[in-house]
Structure 1
């Protein structure tokens, strides 16, 4: 289920079955064109990937809105904010709170998060044919689905 009014109504009727929330983490910056463009591309891919995860695990997960942060932000402050999100989610009650990102800087502080962190390695999809992009996203989705199931 996604963060839409229709899906939230469905969630409200089936709360006892939906025990996991997934929060995509996406860096944001405007400045150096190359770095900004890379972040924008990763945001698009992360959005596609998160939607594929939601489709694959529908009925078991809620896909939260993407948590967007400025690249240069102090990560300890972002951890505090994310931990407050985790606290909020666990009161709903979600048993599992999973954060997903292509940003490897989260790996260094993942133990400080009260939810679980899943780092996703990125593949350069720039210039790839749409069918190839879809295949790559699908492959990574299926691998991640197996990892998520291990939390259950």
Structure 2
């Protein structure tokens, strides 16, 4: 289920089955064009990936809006905010709170998160064939779905 009015109504009726929330994490910066463009591309891929993952695991997960943060922000402050999100989700009650991102900097502090962190290797978009990108997203979705199922 996604964060839409239609899916939220479905969630209300199926709360007992939807026990996992997935939160995409995406860095954001305006500045150096090359770095900003890369982050914009990764944001698009992360959005596509998260939607594919939601489709694959429909009926068991809730996909939230993307948590976006400034690239240069203090990670300790972001961890504090994200942990507040985690506590909020667990009060709903979601049993599993999973964060997904292409940003490898989260790996160093993943143990500070109260939810589980899943790092995804980035998918290169520059000069990539759209069909190839779609295939890579599908492959990564299937692998990640298996990982998510292991938390159940």
User: Is TM-score (shorter-chain normalized) higher than 0.5?
Assistant: yes
State the Cα distance separating 1:123 from its structure 2 match.
Answer: 2.4
Aligned to 2:32: 32
State the Cα distance separating 1:136 from its structure 2 match.
Answer: 0.5
1:132 alignment partner, SS class: helix
State the Cα distance separating 1:127 from its structure 2 match.
Answer: 1.7
Aligned to 1:59: 59
| Contact 2:45–2:123 under 8 Å retained in 1 | no
Shifted more, 32-41 versus 120-129: the winner is 120-129
Aligned to 1:132: 132
Instruction: Flag as ranges the 4+ runs of structure 1 deviating above 4 A.
Output: none
Distance in 2 of aligned mates of 1:4 and 1:127:
33
Aligned to 1:79: 79
Distance in 2 of aligned mates of 1:86 and 1:124:
30
1:36 alignment partner, SS class: helix
Q: Aligned residues, how many? A: 152
Q: Residues 17-59 of structure 1, C-alpha deviation per residue, up to 9 Å, x if partnerless? A: 0000000000000000000001000000000000000000000
Under a length normalisation based on structure 2, what TM-score does the superposition of the two structures give?
0.99
Distance in 1 of aligned mates of 2:72 and 2:131:
35
Alignment of 1:11-30 (within 5 A): 11-30=11-30
Distance in 1 of aligned mates of 2:149 and 2:126:
30
1:17 alignment partner, SS class: coil
Distance in 1 of aligned mates of 2:132 and 2:124:
11
Distance in 1 of aligned mates of 2:123 and 2:62:
25
Alignment of 1:139-150 (within 5 A): 139-150=139-150
State the Cα distance separating 1:131 from its structure 2 match.
Answer: 1.1
Name stretches of at least 5 consecutive residues in structure 2 with no aligned partner: none
Distance in 2 of aligned mates of 1:97 and 1:5:
21
